[in-house]
Amino acid sequence: MSISRGAPKRPFSSMTSRARLARWALSGPPLTFLAIFFLIPTLIMALASFGWPGREGGFSPLWYHDAAGWHFDFTLGNYRDIFTLRLFLVLYLRSLGYALATTGFCLVGAYPLSLVIARARVGYRNLLLLLVIVPFWSNFLIRIYAWMIILGPQAALSRGINAVLGLCGIRAVNLLFSPFAVMMGLVYVSLPFMILPLYANLEKHDPALLEAARDLGASAWSCFWRVTFPLSVPGVIAGATLVFVPALGAFAVPDILGGTRGIMIGNVIEMEFLQARDWPFGAALSIILTILALGATGIAAWAARRGIKAYG
Amino acid sequence: MARRAALYAAALVAYAFLYVPLVIVVLFSFSASHLGTRWAGFTLHWYRVLLHDAAMLHAAWNSVIIALAASLAATVFGTLAALATRKYRLRFLPVLVLAPLSTPDILQGVSLLVFFVLLNVTLGLKSVMLAHISFCIAYVAIVVSSRLAGMDPSLVEAARDLGASPWKGFWLITLPLLAPGIMAGGLLAFTMSIDDFVITFFTAGAGTTTLPLRIYTMIKVAVTPEVNAVSTLLMASTLVLVLSISKLAPQALKGMG
């Protein structure tokens, strides 16, 4: 997913004023809009994370002016609290765990499907791909709600499992409102994010490479591990990033399927903003979440570069 | 051969995993039971309930208005961004355009909430529209860019050589060639907007509901198969949208999540 770059940039000074005007007419509106409604709000969050909560929610001012001059009222307290209270560290670790596990399950689940689509006859490929895209674009909440039905205590799955557990003399379990339900929901909503980039990569592989490997006596297994998989690493990395980042910041899935046992950092951020109304603390929590997400994206970009070097 | 069979079986399982939950949702929309999770004979009752649920219809109306406004604005901004990036090889603009896709939804939601509250903007339809435009621009820009990348620059050059002004070249050559990409981008933005829950949840305020917010309330408070009925109708409309996008810009579906 990148925006293609075209003609080489002309030196600014040599541009006529008309060309400059055209340039601003094109890039100005989206630039201004996103600066106001994306960049500035994000920067406000970053600043606010160093502030104190206001008396009735919101923020207390970061700086003010009175007879004695300017006062700056910054604090590192929000970050100190996050790193010293075990509760929040545990929540971050748990969210990281969920996101990692989701990425792993999605990789295992998506790989065979992507491979089958990529190796299908050209006429079928678009249909098979469309079959992945349709559920992906169905409403996000509906896809989570579906798991509420499947895992609900009245549903066949729960009753079946509990009947078996009952025979073994084990107490009945509640599948819904559990970490298990959160895992299922996360994998379900994330799976297409892994399938699509993997497919895009696998589709480009030259079948001659596999034929050559087979002619040289490689088994199907070593063909896969020594030809297909190494070549697909960029696709795996792209998919992993697309799965990991949203899963890390998930809010709706744990909120609907997790109950109190399946809470993630996204839910705590929501509570800080809408219930506890400690905005600076919520801001600090979201800034750390964003740093973790950016870190993961950075690691992925680094791994992709290394992967290209290694198998280049 | 056994390996190939195993591969197909694994792919089949993955497809089943994708579809079984949705099929269950659709199936239970026709169930006579009050619980969304038990089957008790066929009925269209929940669709009738849906038709008379004023709150739900109002929420759906809000969703459509927001999605129309947001996708129109995002189509203009996103197309401009794609054209500018291609023509002037900008550095900062593409980063800013794509950044919302790689920041967690929840951060965008809460930061816009804070932003609107600090500016004393009343939360409601307008704040949701503005929020939706900001994350929809990226989708339009990606689709239009992929269309631009596949376009033959010699066509515009030929028009210019034949004496067309830059504006005429754009109006008569670039824009018509780009039109399917712009349409597809707009439809994608519409889908993303009408589907959005998290960012809407934070920017809608107390008085405004959209379809996803209404569904959320029903799921959290009192689930009836009415949720299944509205879900089924939504899925049917998504299907129509996806099919039209795949007709307009087959390439757009591949590169896109």
The domain locations on chain B are 55-255
Mapped onto helix, strand or coil, the DSSP state of residue B174 is helix
Provide the token pair at B100: 């919302």
Which tens digit of pLDDT belongs to each residue from A147-163? 988 888 777 777 788 78
> Of residues B69 and A173, which shows the higher confidence score?
B69
Which tens digit of pLDDT belongs to each residue from B5-35? 888 888 899 999 999 999 988 888 887 777 6
d(CA A241, CA A244): 5
In the predicted structure, residue A186 carries a pLDDT above the cut 60: yes
Nearest to B198 by CA among B105, B63, B101: B105
Contact B22 A115 (CB under 8 A): no
In the predicted structure, residue A279 carries a pLDDT above the cut 70: yes
- Nearest-Cα distance to chain B for A310, in Å, is 25
Q: Are residues A120 and A226 in the same domain?
A: yes
Contact A145 B104 (CB under 8 A): no
What is the predicted pLDDT for the residue at B254? 52
Q: Looking at the domain assignment, is residue A62 inside a domain?
A: no
Q: Looking at the domain assignment, is residue A65 inside a domain?
A: no
Torsion angles phi and psi, residue A65, rounded to 5: -125, 130
Set of chain B residues whose Cβ sits within 8 Å of the Cβ of A146: 21-22, 24-25
In the predicted structure, residue A12 carries a pLDDT above the cut 80: no
Nearest to B246 by CA among B177, B183, B193: B183
In the predicted structure, residue B172 carries a pLDDT above the cut 90: no
Amino acid identity for residue A81 in this structure: D
What is the predicted pLDDT for the residue at A311? 54
**B210 HSE (CA, 13 A, CB side):** 29
In the predicted structure, residue A62 carries a pLDDT above the cut 50: yes
- Of the ranges A9-18, A169-178, B182-191, the best mean pLDDT one: B182-191
Set of chain A residues whose Cβ sits within 8 Å of the Cβ of B21: 143, 146-147, 149-150, 188
Q: Are residues A22 and A105 in the same domain?
A: no
Report the sign of the C-alpha dihedral through residues B107, B112, B118, B122, in that order: negative
> Of residues B33 and B188, which shows the higher confidence score?
B188
DSSP character string of chain A: ------SPPPPGGGS-HHHHHHHHHHHHHHHHHHIIIIIHHHHHHHHHTTSPBPBTBSB--SEEEETTEEEE---SHHHHHHHHSHHHHHHHHHHHHHHHHHHHHHHHHHHHHHHHHHHS-HHHHHHHHHHHHHHHHS-HHHHHHHHHHHHSTTSHHHHHHHHHHHHTTPPP---SSSHHHHHHHHHHHHHHHHHHHHHHHHTTS-HHHHHHHHHTT--HHHHIIIIIHHHHHHHHHHHHHHHHHHHHT--HHIIIIITTTT--HHHHHHHHHHTS--HHHHHHHHHHHHHHHHHHHHHHHHHHHHHHHHH-
Q: Looking at the domain assignment, is residue A289 inside a domain?
A: yes
Which tens digit of pLDDT belongs to each residue from A206-227? 888 888 888 888 887 888 888 8
Torsion angles phi and psi, residue A66, rounded to 5: -140, -165
Q: Looking at the domain assignment, is residue A53 inside a domain?
A: no
DSSP character string of A106-139: HHHHHHHHHHHHHHS-HHHHHHHHHHHHHHHHS-
Q: Looking at the domain assignment, is residue A250 inside a domain?
A: yes
Region of poorest pLDDT, from A270-284, B39-53, B207-221: B39-53
In the predicted structure, residue B140 carries a pLDDT above the cut 80: yes
Region of poorest pLDDT, from A65-74, A242-251, A259-268: A65-74
Please state, for a pLDDT cut of 90, what percent of chain A lies above it. 26
Q: Are residues A155 and A42 in the same domain?
A: no
Provide the token pair at A72: 């700056």
What is the predicted pLDDT for the residue at A205? 82
pLDDT band at A1 (very low <50, low <70, confident <90, very high): very low
For domain B55-255, give the fold.
Answer: MetI-like fold (1.10.3720)
- CB proximity list for B252: less than 8 A, separation 6 or greater: B143, B146, B147, B181, B184, B185, B188, B245
- Nearest-Cα distance to chain A for B86, in Å, is 4
Which tens digit of pLDDT belongs to each residue from B81-98? 988 888 887 888 888 888
Report the sign of the C-alpha dihedral through residues A303, B90, B102, B67, in that order: negative
Q: Cβ(B188)–Cβ(B245) under 8 Å? A: yes
Set of chain B residues whose Cβ sits within 8 Å of the Cβ of A126: 246, 250
Report the number of distinct structural domains present in chain A: 2
Residue B78, CA distances (Å) to A30, B142, B183 in order:
7, 8, 12
Return the residue of A nearest to B219 by Cα: A145
Mapped onto helix, strand or coil, the DSSP state of residue B42 is strand
Q: Looking at the domain assignment, is residue A230 inside a domain?
A: yes
Please state, for a pLDDT cut of 70, what percent of chain A lies above it. 92
In the predicted structure, residue A5 carries a pLDDT above the cut 60: no
CATH of the domain at A221: 1.10.3720.10
Q: Please state the rounded mean pLDDT for residues A300-309.
A: 76
What is the predicted pLDDT for the residue at A153? 76
pLDDT band at A312 (very low <50, low <70, confident <90, very high): very low
Q: Looking at the domain assignment, is residue A23 inside a domain?
A: yes
Q: Please state the rounded mean pLDDT for residues A7-15.
A: 53
Other Cβ atoms within 10 Å of A33 Cβ, number: 21
Which residue of A34, A251, A297 is in closest CB contact with B102?
A297
Q: Which residue do the tokens 């596990």 mark?
A: A101
Report the sign of the C-alpha dihedral through residues A180, B23, B63, A35, in that order: positive
Contact B14 A37 (CB under 8 A): no
Region of poorest pLDDT, from A93-97, A102-106, B45-49, B195-199: B45-49
Nearest to A134 by CA among B8, B236, B63: B236
Q: Please state the rounded mean pLDDT for residues B50-58.
A: 85
Nearest to A85 by CA among A255, A284, A277: A284
In the predicted structure, residue A65 carries a pLDDT above the cut 80: no
In the predicted structure, residue B3 carries a pLDDT above the cut 50: yes
Q: Are strands A69-72 and A63-66 parallel, antiparallel or unpaired?
A: antiparallel
Contact B219 A256 (CB under 8 A): yes
> Of residues A56 and A220, which shows the higher confidence score?
A220
d(CA B175, CA A260): 53
Nearest to B255 by CA among B91, B131, B141: B141
Set of chain B residues whose Cβ sits within 8 Å of the Cβ of A30: 77-78, 80-81, 84, 93, 97, 137, 141
Provide the token pair at A259: 């109950």
Q: Looking at the domain assignment, is residue A218 inside a domain?
A: yes
Q: Are residues A21 and A86 in the same domain?
A: no
What is the predicted pLDDT for the residue at B36? 56
What is the predicted pLDDT for the residue at A3? 55
Set of chain B residues whose Cβ sits within 8 Å of the Cβ of A120: none
> Of residues A205 and A311, which shows the higher confidence score?
A205
Range of the domain at A206: 77-311
Set of chain A residues whose Cβ sits within 8 Å of the Cβ of B166: 22
Residue A303, CA distances (Å) to A217, A297, B114, B160 in order:
31, 10, 35, 45
| A-B contacts at Cβ under 8 angstroms | 287
Question: Which of A7, A29, A48 finishes a domain?
Answer: A48
Mean pLDDT of chain A: 84
In the predicted structure, residue A235 carries a pLDDT above the cut 80: yes
Q: Are residues A159 and A290 in the same domain?
A: yes
What is the predicted pLDDT for the residue at A239? 87
pLDDT band at A310 (very low <50, low <70, confident <90, very high): low
Q: Are residues A192 and A234 in the same domain?
A: yes
Contact B24 A149 (CB under 8 A): yes
Amino acid identity for residue A252 in this structure: A
Mean pLDDT of chain B: 85
Set of chain A residues whose Cβ sits within 8 Å of the Cβ of B137: 30, 33-34
What is the predicted pLDDT for the residue at B256? 47
Which tens digit of pLDDT belongs to each residue from A236-253? 888 888 899 899 999 999
In the predicted structure, residue A118 carries a pLDDT above the cut 70: yes
- CB proximity list for A283: less than 8 A, separation 6 or greater: A45, A46, A48, A49, A51, A78, B110, B114
Which residue of A116, A135, A251 is in closest CB contact with B19?
A135
Return the residue of B nearest to A224 by Cα: B3
- Nearest-Cα distance to chain B for A290, in Å, is 7
Q: Are residues A24 and A101 in the same domain?
A: no
Contact B257 A1 (CB under 8 A): yes
Q: Are residues A205 and A289 in the same domain?
A: yes
Provide the token pair at B40: 């008790």
B110, B116, B175, B239: best to mutate for the A interface, most A CBs within 10 A: B110
Report the sign of the C-alpha dihedral through residues B55, B22, A180, A105, in that order: negative
Which residue of B3, B18, B24 is in closest CB contact with A191?
B18
Q: Are residues A28 and A120 in the same domain?
A: no
Contact A154 B35 (CB under 8 A): yes
Q: Please state the rounded mean pLDDT for residues B56-62.
A: 89
Set of chain B residues whose Cβ sits within 8 Å of the Cβ of A148: 36-37, 219, 223
